[in-house]
Amino acid sequence: MHKDLKKILIDEKSIINRCLELGQQITDDYKHDVEPPIFIALLKGSVPFLAELVKYVNLDIELDFMDVSSYAGGTESTRDIRILKDLDRSIKGKNIIIVEDIVDTGRTLLAVTKILENKGASGIKVVSLLDKPVRREVTVEVDYVGFEIPNEFVVGFGLDYAEKYRNLPYVGVLKDELY
């Protein structure tokens, strides 16, 4: 365990097993679609989750990325959603699966969903490694949830604090005195 953590909340093996289950569920849900779904990963935190998840999706898929920020390096959302990188293609008439590392207040996910609807997506679903419903400020639907977690500040497996800890192979709770 990393010296800056209080505890490991979700170990690597549990993450891999849950990605396998989610990949099979997504495969089942989209196996009859003619067009492959486009997985849109929200940078940077979702990249390890995306990489693990798509190993278990037994479909043709497409990938794209958006970089959307609402944290500005802290632990609380600024509620100022900024698009730092937009999609590289049109998604008009396409089925989209938004890939998130964590759904917290729901504000970022709500904003991204509205943007993708305005771009003409025909269907939008959300897969998130972590869900923290106790912090929800707006109503958003998360179709595929890896793990529901308590209201603790977590890092690892893509999640960061000040750009650190993303490379940990598990999700852990950061010591309070570090933030």
Write out pLDDT tens, residues 28-54: 999 999 999 999 999 999 999 999 999
Residue 172 included in any domain: no
Residue 173 included in any domain: no
Check if 67 is active-site. no
Residue 146 included in any domain: yes
93 phi and psi angles, rounded to 5 deg: 75, 10
Which residue has 């604090």 as its token pair? 161
Write out pLDDT tens, residues 126-175: 999 999 999 999 999 999 999 999 999 999 999 999 999 999 999 999 99
Write out pLDDT tens, residues 60-118: 999 999 998 775 555 555 567 888 999 999 999 999 999 999 999 999 999 999 999 99
Residue 80 included in any domain: yes
Q: Taking 60 as the threshold, does the pLDDT of residue 18 lie above it?
A: yes
Residue 85 included in any domain: yes
β partners of residue 172: 8, 155
Q: Which residues contact 47 (CB under 8 A, 6 or more apart)?
A: 41, 158
In the chain, the number of structural domains is: 1
Pairing of β 171-174 and β 154-155: antiparallel
CB atoms within 10 A of CB 173: 17
Residue 26 included in any domain: yes
Residue 179 included in any domain: no
Residue 23 included in any domain: yes
Which CATH number do you get for residue 65?
Answer: 3.40.50.2020
pTM strictly above 0.85: yes
Q: Which run of H or of E encompasses 24? A: helix 12-30
User: Catalytic pick from 67, 101, 104, 131?
Assistant: 104
Q: What is the pLDDT of residue 117?
A: 97
Q: What is the pLDDT of residue 179?
A: 85
